[in-house]
Structure formats: structure tokens, C-alpha cells
A and B are shown apart, each in its own frame.
Chain A
Amino acid sequence: MYVAVKGGETAILNSYRLLARARRGDAAVPELSLAQIKGQLRHAVDRVMQEGSLFDPELAALALKQAAGDTQEAVFLLRAFRTTLPRFGYSVPLDTAAMRVRRRVSGTFKDVPGGQVLGPTADYTQRLLDFSLAGTGSANLEEPTALAEPLPERLPCVLDVLNREGLIEPETPPPGDPAPTDLTREPLMFPAARATRLQNLARGDEGWLLGLAYSTQRGYAESHPFAGEIRMGEVTVSIAPEELGFAVDIGEITLTECQMINQFAGNGSAPPQFTRGYGLVVGEAERKAMAMALVDRSLRAPELGETAHAPAQQAEFVLCHSDNVEASGFVQHLKLPHYVDFQAELSLLRTLRAGFDAKGDAQ
């Protein structure tokens, strides 16, 4: 006598217990503290905040700990928590020209006003495993040399130099300067304005953007990019409550900004000039900011009169598949039971197969 399998609830509760033990690992090894994760795994924390769309290093560290280092799972945890947070208002636009720059480089000019500042980059390290880090004894950290002269308070954007010559398209708000869509409150609709697209890319999966950006360099969209400027540092966040009538600083966040310069042959109404691609990401995230800038530019193909034949130029394709919380959930939902549909397909296939075999027999 067949007895239908029961006990889903018990199994689920047991999976929690197993998961908790697996997460903790060897109990003889000290437990990770959030301060350790925040302080020593800053890139992981930043990525969880970017794709989780919530700036809170403490919660991002908690999510990473709970997810046992699975970045996308941590992003998901943060997003689900974010849903429950009330929205008090919107900040005034961030002024990245007033960024307290820790890193600023340009690939287009040897020297730029304010100079090139490498900052805390791994770019010119030789990727040799540093065995001195294998132990837990803290390494002897050397003091970096101070800058010859401190950076000015406002570091003008490198692209402004080209702007003065009219060789690069001006960055102007869209006609009427409409309030941007808030993608965390409204669904993504098409055609999507550039502000909406940038919002989507900013919280999009880094791997997705990196692959798409790479494709534009390899011939799937002729982008011919130059890294006009990349800067990273702290930017003040201000809000202007209506009843107050002026802006109040509420804190600062770390941002990475990338201004990409791309060739443009011009068209009937626009002269030949450089065009822009823009990337802005929370935290230290140069790879993502650069990828975002390349994809932003490729998505501008229709407005610049370019044929949109490559995947990275097709907004619906790029934007509908960028969110790793959506992608991860839907790909993995295949492990849920599909008995009913599978049964329907099975009986359909048996019918089709019977028809095919009967035809074969007749021949």
C-alpha cells in the first residue's frame, strides 16, 4: 500500500538546523564578528550593498555572515529586509565634483588638473600570493607618504576640459528635467529613460554587466571607449525636508564614478564629437563602475541613431536580466516540485510518441 510522502515541515526545520551548523563550521575556531567582515572584507560588503540597494555596512556584513559568504544570497537577504523599511524621502542630487577623492585616474590625459591619484588600488600589485597574510599576526603596515599638496576641495571632472572645446556632448538633463523613476517602488517599463536604465544598472549584477561590457569591446557594439575619468571617495548626502526649506547633511557614502568617453561619428543634427557613458556605484567598485559606463553607452545606441544589433544595445534584454535576485530565484525555482506540469507533459509526450511510432510502423 502506497503512503504519500509527508513530513515536509519536519524536513524544513531540520534543514535549518543543518544549515546553521554548516554556517558556523568548526566550533573550535572563533566566530567571525561583523566588525571583522566590515573591516576586512570591504569589497564583499560593498557589493552586497550595491546589489542589495541598501547602504548599511553593518547589515551587509550580517547578511554576508548569515549567507556564509554567498554574495548573491546576502544581496537577497538585504533586499528582503529593505522591503520593510519606510521611505522618508529623497536626497538632493549628490555632487561628485565635491567628492573627497581617495583615488582618481584618467586614461585619456597624462596629467590632469588635480593630478592622478592611485589611492588604495590593487592595479599595480603583482598578483603573487602573500604568504605573510596566511598567519593571523598583523603585518607591519607602513605609513604611506603624504601628497605633496592636498587635493583641492572641488576636483573638476576631466571631461570638462573637452567640454570647453565642444568636443564632447554636453551632459544636460532631459527635456523638462522630469523626476526620475524609483525602480524600487515602480516596475521597469519600456522605453526606459536613461535615468531609469542607470538605476537598473547600478543595482544590477556585476558579473552580468562585466560580461556585457566585455562583449561591446569584442565587437558586439562598436564602442571605442576611453576611461575619461575614474574617481572614488566620499560624498556628502543631504536631504532638504519640505518644511525646512534648506538642505541638511545626513552623512556620507563612498562612491565610485566612471566617465567613459566614446567616439561618435556624428549624424545629420549632431557634429562629430565624443559621447559619454556613465557609471556610478556605491562603495569601492571600479570594475563595476567601468562596466556600467560601457553598458550605459551601448544602451544609448537608439538615441544616437546607431543600429542596435548587439545584445548589449538592447535595453529590454539588458535591463530585464540584470537583477541577480530575480535571476537567481527564477533559475533556482526549477528545483521546486513541477509534478503536475511534468505529468501533463509526460502524457502529451506519450501521445506524440504513439503517433510517431504508428507513422514509423506504417512506412
Chain B
Amino acid sequence: MKHSTSCKPQTGLHREGGRAATGPYSPYGEEAHSDADKASNWRYNFGYLDENTKRMLRRGLLKAVAIPGYQVPFGSREMPLPYGWGTGGIQLTASLIGRQDVLKVIDQGADDTTNAVNIRRFFGRVCGVDTTEKSADATLIQTRHRIPETPLKAGQIVVFQVPEPEPLRLLEASEVETRKLHAHQEYGLMHVKLYEDIARFGHIATSYDYPVRVNGRYLASPSPIPKFDNPKLHQSPALLLFGAGREKRLYAIPPYTDVDSLAFDDHPFEIQAWDTSCALCGSHDSYLDEIVTDDAGSRMFVCSDTDYCTSRREDAR
């Protein structure tokens, strides 16, 4: 976590008496700031969270890296964005981000979806760091529901927003019970679920948030990425961090860790495939979104990763 070292504690919090009733902060006010000096004029600390909270988060992350796939409980805070909208990811990003970082935020693979725009604006306001849409230029990528198509590099950190960190939750509602199941490495429930899928449908009927085994030990949720993205988790050169704010859990897949998507010998893991290519860039091997183009049900398929698609089109020119 080299990025955190560049993040110096800010003294004074730039606010008087802990009150916000008067002063420069306006919740709907000015445009995103582009440099760190402007950010330091806000009443909030760099990265919104105070330094003690960031330290608590980083300690949790160290534990998570040390025990790949293990869900570390942490004292999740209320953030100024709603729970379920990426508060876990936002807290992790806030605890890691430094002034030298270049941040990319995507939702559904796209940089311009409203929630991604909003989260990027938030960090623009409370950090003033550089942001980018280019996956290759980013040091820190916060994502919801996708892993970029552009291969990740060593030194990059990807922060995943996680709604439900417990892969067994829909099979066992009680947290007391699921913690026991993890402790005993008792994952029969999930195997039975997958087996029942095969018995009923002839194949495993899970298309996203497809459960993985991390480092041969913990069963984990890859977050609701399509199973298409699961292979990118395996032996990734980047550090993959997962934050679930509402459920108050974080976990990690350190670089170059084995990540196996659950399957059976006679029913190997398969990813989605399309019999068409991207209508914009012609890619045959990216994840495609279906776009309904008129009332008559006409549709076309385009890359969900907007940066990947745009770059390919630019390169083709």
C-alpha cells in the first residue's frame, strides 16, 4: 500500500468548533476541484475520513491481505453517499488514496454512469487528486460490477464495491452460522446448490457474483461482477480489495493469488460468450451490453467497458 505513505495527516480539519452551520462547505455547491491545494480549503480532511479512521481501515486491510479471502469485520462509517451505493469501496479508497494517486471510477464498466460520476466527483472534492478514464493510467481503480478489460498491472489497486460479502448468505441467513462454516471450511452447502442447478438445468445457473475459492482456503464473493470477469481474479498482478460498507466487512485478494471459480470435474467453469461482436469497436472478446434501440425490439451489443471500447476505436483510426 505504497500510496498511503504520501497521505500526510491534515491538522485542524479546517473547520471551526466542529460545526458546519456556517462556512464554505456547501453540499450542492461548486464544481469538482482539480488540485490538492483547493481540496485543503474544504472543511473536511483529505479523503473525508479522519486519519484515525483511515488507520483503522488500513489495519483491517493488512489483515485481509494476510488472510486472502477472509472477511475482516471493520467499524464501517456512514459516508455522505448511501449504503449500497459503494460506501465500502469509498472507505477503502479514502483510506488508501494519496496526493500522487490517479483515480479511475467505473460502474458497470463505464466511467460515465451516474454513480461513477458521483463517486469521482466526491473524491475530486475531498482529495482533489487527478482522475482518469484510462485503466492503464490509473493507480487506483474503484469499480462496481466489472473488472476492466485492459489487463491490470503490478502496482495497481482495484477496489470493489460489495453489496453482500458473504457468499453463503442466500443459503444460510445467520451470520453466526456462516462464520462457523468458514471456520470449518464447510462449503458443502454451496457445492450442493451448484449440483442442484446442474440436476435441474443441466448447467450451473449462476451468471454473476459467481463464488470463488481464494488461495485454496476461503470461499468468497467476487462481488456482483459477471462470471466473465472471474478469470481475471486468478493470479492478478494487481492488489484486489473488496469493501462492504453496510455489512461492515472487507477482504482482499493479494497479487498473484490463486482464485478458483467453483465447478465440478465433469462440469467445468465457463464464462459468458456472445455470437456477435461489439457494434462500435468490433471486439470479439469483451463483455457486451445489450442496447435496445427502438420500440420494435431491435437491439445491438456494445462493450460494457467504455474506456476499452473508446481506445480500440481511437487506435483503429
Chain A interface residues (CB < 8 Å from chain B)? 2, 4, 6-9, 11-12, 16, 19-20, 34, 58-59, 62, 66, 76, 79-86, 184-191, 316, 320, 325-326, 328-333, 336-341, 343-348, 351-352, 355
A146 CA / B115 CA spacing, docked (Å): 58
A346 CA / B248 CA spacing, docked (Å): 31
Question: Which B90-122 residues sit within 8 Å CB-CB of chain A?
Answer: 107-110, 112-118, 121
A80-B78, A187-B248 as given contacts; A339 in contact with B304, CB under 8 Å? yes
Cβ contact within 8 Å between A190 and B175: yes
B82 partner, pick from A2, A329, A339, A346, beta carbons under 8 A: A329
A85-B18, A329-B85 as given contacts; A190 in contact with B224, CB under 8 Å? no
A6 CA / B163 CA spacing, docked (Å): 26
A10 CA / B184 CA spacing, docked (Å): 51
A86 CA / B12 CA spacing, docked (Å): 11
A12-B117, A188-B248, A344-B272 as given contacts; A84 in contact with B290, CB under 8 Å? no
A4-B302, A190-B176 as given contacts; A343 in contact with B83, CB under 8 Å? no
4 tightest CB-CB pairs across the interface, nearest first?
Answer: A329-B83, A333-B84, A329-B82, A344-B207
Closest to B300 in A: A2
Taken residue by residue from 167 to 178, chain B's Cβ proximity to chain A (1 for < 8 Å, 0 otherwise) reads as 000000111100
Taken residue by residue from 8 to 41, chain B's Cβ proximity to chain A (1 for < 8 Å, 0 otherwise) reads as 0000010000111100000110000000000000
A268 CA / B163 CA spacing, docked (Å): 45
A187-B248, A345-B207 as given contacts; A81 in contact with B20, CB under 8 Å? yes
Cβ contact within 8 Å between A340 and B226: yes
Closest Cβ–Cβ distance, residue A223 to chain B (whole Å): 23
Describe A's contact surface by its main secondary structure: helix
Describe B's contact surface by its main secondary structure: loop
Tell me, yes or no, whether B202 is within 8 Å of chain A by CB: yes
Tell me, yes or no, whether B55 is within 8 Å of chain A by CB: no
Cβ contact within 8 Å between A8 and B117: yes
B224 partner, pick from A82, A320, A341, A348, beta carbons under 8 A: A341
Interface centre among A6, A76, A337, A347 (most CB of B within 10 A): A337
Closest Cβ–Cβ distance, residue B222 to chain A (whole Å): 12
Interface centre among A59, A187, A190 (most CB of B within 10 A): A187
Cβ contact within 8 Å between A340 and B45: no
**Residues of A close to B45: CB separation below 8 A:** 84
Cβ contact within 8 Å between B287 and A340: yes
A8-B113, A12-B114 as given contacts; A347 in contact with B28, CB under 8 Å? no
A16 CA / B118 CA spacing, docked (Å): 12
Cβ contact within 8 Å between A84 and B227: no
**Residues of B close to A83: CB separation below 8 A:** 48-49, 53, 77-79
Tell me, yes or no, whether B280 is within 8 Å of chain A by CB: yes
**Residues of B close to A184: CB separation below 8 A:** 75
Question: Which B204-229 residues sit within 8 Å CB-CB of chain A?
Answer: 205, 207-209, 224-228
B205 partner, pick from A79, A82, A331, A348, beta carbons under 8 A: A348
Tell me, yes or no, whether B62 is within 8 Å of chain A by CB: no
Question: Which B112-156 residues sit within 8 Å CB-CB of chain A?
Answer: 112-118, 121, 144-146
A191 CA / B203 CA spacing, docked (Å): 39
A330 CA / B82 CA spacing, docked (Å): 8
Closest Cβ–Cβ distance, residue B231 to chain A (whole Å): 15
A80-B79, A343-B226 as given contacts; A2 in contact with B293, CB under 8 Å? yes
Cβ contact within 8 Å between B77 and A340: no
Cβ contact within 8 Å between B78 and A79: yes
Cβ contact within 8 Å between A347 and B272: yes
A12-B114, A16-B28, A316-B175 as given contacts; A330 in contact with B21, CB under 8 Å? no
Cβ contact within 8 Å between A340 and B304: yes
Cβ contact within 8 Å between A9 and B117: yes
Question: Which B290-311 residues sit within 8 Å CB-CB of chain A?
Answer: 290-291, 293, 300, 302, 304, 306
Contacts A184-B75, A329-B246, A333-B163 known; 20 new A-B pairs at CB < 8 A: A4-B302, A59-B21, A62-B21, A81-B20, A84-B50, A190-B175, A191-B176, A325-B78, A326-B246, A328-B83, A330-B83, A330-B246, A333-B85, A339-B304, A340-B224, A340-B304, A341-B145, A344-B227, A348-B207, A355-B202
**Residues of B close to A341: CB separation below 8 A:** 145, 207-209, 224, 226
**Residues of B close to A343: CB separation below 8 A:** 226, 287-290, 304
Cβ contact within 8 Å between A76 and B20: no
A191 CA / B44 CA spacing, docked (Å): 36
Closest Cβ–Cβ distance, residue B47 to chain A (whole Å): 11
**Residues of A close to B228: CB separation below 8 A:** 344
A2 CA / B202 CA spacing, docked (Å): 37
Cβ contact within 8 Å between B20 and A66: no
Cβ contact within 8 Å between B208 and A345: yes
**Residues of A close to B249: CB separation below 8 A:** 187
Cβ contact within 8 Å between B20 and A340: no
A4 partner, pick from B13, B84, B306, beta carbons under 8 A: B306
Q: Would you give 17 A-B contacts (Cβ < 8 Å), ordered by A?
A: A2-B279, A8-B117, A58-B21, A59-B20, A80-B80, A83-B77, A84-B44, A190-B176, A329-B85, A329-B246, A337-B115, A339-B289, A340-B304, A343-B289, A344-B207, A345-B207, A352-B205
Cβ contact within 8 Å between A332 and B82: yes
B226 partner, pick from A80, A186, A190, A344, beta carbons under 8 A: A344
Closest Cβ–Cβ distance, residue A143 to chain B (whole Å): 34
Tell me, yes or no, whether B74 is within 8 Å of chain A by CB: yes
A59-B20, A83-B78 as given contacts; A326 in contact with B83, CB under 8 Å? yes
Cβ contact within 8 Å between B208 and A333: no
